[in-house]
Chains A and B, each alone.
Chain A
């Protein structure tokens, strides 16, 4: 059983190799030489850049010269090689991001180890106690208050963005007359374009003082209003992705329902939304991802103190989120505290990546489902 699998795998590999060698044989030898020089130079340059060497410029210049020569004389192969290098570069960037923020955060994970059943689990203490104190011993870097803050903001933001976003998407794709849709859709996109710092500024100067006054809190900054502002910011994402999903439901299905003598609303509720369900939930997930990663509004509107609110569901106070922790503390942080900021980055990165992959999976399933019907 396993033997055949190995055999099959080996066959596949030999096939690939043969295809590659065929491809290489087909090429002009000088072109191959140029491309080899380019590849080698680029690899060396990259290695040099990684090792913080200013000499990296030398192989890079060689690469540029080789590429220029190749472009003039063997454009097809050079172009192919260049585009391939660009693809690899894109993937490398993702890898580098992952590696660098992980590596930078290792010390704090080690520092915050806890022993469970005799086994030392790195980083566990960051999640089991709620103390953040970077100044007076015992120095503790707990992520719990920030995770709490991010969860609060995200929950409130989703409660704002999901229902409003989905019904706005319904309005755009199913209800609005064509002229109105043409006018409103760019409007929604523009809403997506307003920089988050502008939202933060308006929230900070207008909403926060107002909220503090209304709810008679001590000081300004509440998860409730950060959540609302962040929800407004995530709204355009939800609207446009959900709108795409809704309008990709085939017209024939909608007509089929309407021709049975159902109302538009019944058709939407019973045919369009269920058929687009995965797309709509992907839209909400993407909105959640945006809300989790939103930085500036949270940074300027929250208090920036890494503490839990009391009681936990007290949304009228807002302390700190994972993102605002980084933005607030990068300036004075160094050593272990800076590593702790990277740890916050790692948590954000993993969460958002998981959400992104999840929503893509859902969308992929939807496309398969709707595509399979005709």
Chain B
């Protein structure tokens, strides 16, 4: 299995000519980068994705394919549209009334932006950890079991208890498993009934990761999951991500180059203006980027 669909390739060679510096206004100036090809099947395909917030052009014709069961890192300066890109993948941008989205996103070959998409189903399959931790104002246990309970996978409500078919044990197992995976179990094991808002920022962030794992999504979108964590917790999360990529497709935004280099198989570099400048093997990107701008950004000369 080589590259994805052939149409993508032709499109790309059409629009991205080498060293286009002419004054054509409707043609975007792009740095040239090799077609990135991978062996795994494509999990998420993005094609010509444009996002506008009102008149603000936040993403500019982004096309990239994300392989299954791997870690893809998104890096780039603040405000370049990384979060916007992530939110397009599970259609959380639909919540922003000013956002307008053009282009196509596919999940396992199925178009996400088409009529009649079941958003609930999509978001079950594409989980998300937000940039700033957002635990629910409930107990730690309820935070973790929230998703499975809403999806009807476990039921520990009053009625279920009265009828004697409560999944108490299953819930406890799930809570423990998810918290362990997110490297939080040891810290909160004896206070699962405490309000999650009482946790520290870093703990809240891990709780949100655990919460995301509880519904076993196929794709996990992580927006700077380690931004509020100490090195030890970060290392744990990085281990977790490595482990997750055996089974899940992970897309992670990070401002930490080393982290991107450590954990990801492929890296996409966005630069200001919402443009995807380069996308390729992580090693390739960090050692020998095609684009000068990317090199500047990575070596810290950018800006």
Q: Is any CB of A less than 8 Å from a CB of B in the complex?
A: yes
Q: Which residues of A contact B (CB under 8 A)?
A: 178, 250-263, 266, 270-271, 274-275, 369-370, 372-374
Asked if B146 and A258 make an inter-chain contact with CB atoms under 8 angstroms apart, the answer reads no
* B271 contacts A by Cβ under 8 Å: no
| Closest B residue, CB atoms, query A178 | B97
Q: Report the number of A-B residue pairs with Cβ-Cβ less than 8 Å.
A: 74
Complex contacts, B125 vs chain A, CB 8 Å: 261
B141-158 interface bits toward A, Cβ cutoff 8 Å, 1 = contact, 0 = none:
000001100110000000
Q: Which residues of B contact A (CB under 8 A)?
A: 90, 92, 95, 97, 119-125, 127-128, 130, 132, 134-138, 146-147, 150-151, 197, 208, 211-212, 215, 217
Asked if B90 and A259 make an inter-chain contact with CB atoms under 8 angstroms apart, the answer reads yes
A266 to B150, CA, bound (A): 7
Asked if A274 and B137 make an inter-chain contact with CB atoms under 8 angstroms apart, the answer reads yes
Known: A263-B120, A274-B137, A373-B197. A258 touches B92 (CB 8 A): yes
Count chain B CB atoms within 10 A of each CB in A257, A263, A372, A373 and give the residue with the most: A373
9 closest residue pairs by CB, A with B? A261-B124, A261-B123, A252-B134, A256-B134, A260-B147, A259-B128, A373-B197, A262-B150, A266-B150
Asked if A255 and B92 make an inter-chain contact with CB atoms under 8 angstroms apart, the answer reads yes
13 A-B pairs in the complex with CB atoms less than 8 angstroms apart:
A252-B132, A252-B134, A253-B134, A256-B130, A256-B134, A256-B136, A260-B146, A260-B147, A261-B124, A262-B120, A275-B136, A370-B137, A373-B137
Count chain A CB atoms within 10 A of each CB in B97, B128, B132, B137 and give the residue with the most: B137
Asked if B150 and A270 make an inter-chain contact with CB atoms under 8 angstroms apart, the answer reads yes
Asked if A259 and B137 make an inter-chain contact with CB atoms under 8 angstroms apart, the answer reads no
Asked if A261 and B137 make an inter-chain contact with CB atoms under 8 angstroms apart, the answer reads no
Complex contacts, B197 vs chain A, CB 8 Å: 372-373
Contacts A261-B120, A261-B124 known; 14 new A-B pairs at CB < 8 A: A252-B130, A253-B136, A257-B136, A260-B123, A260-B147, A260-B211, A261-B125, A261-B215, A261-B217, A262-B147, A270-B150, A274-B138, A275-B136, A275-B137
SS class of chain A's interface: helix, strand, loop or mixed? helix
What's the least CB distance linking B72 to chain A, in Å?
A: 19
Complex contacts, A262 vs chain B, CB 8 Å: 120, 146-147, 150-151
Complex contacts, A270 vs chain B, CB 8 Å: 146, 150
Count chain B CB atoms within 10 A of each CB in A178, A256, A263, A372 and give the residue with the most: A256
Asked if A256 and B208 make an inter-chain contact with CB atoms under 8 angstroms apart, the answer reads yes
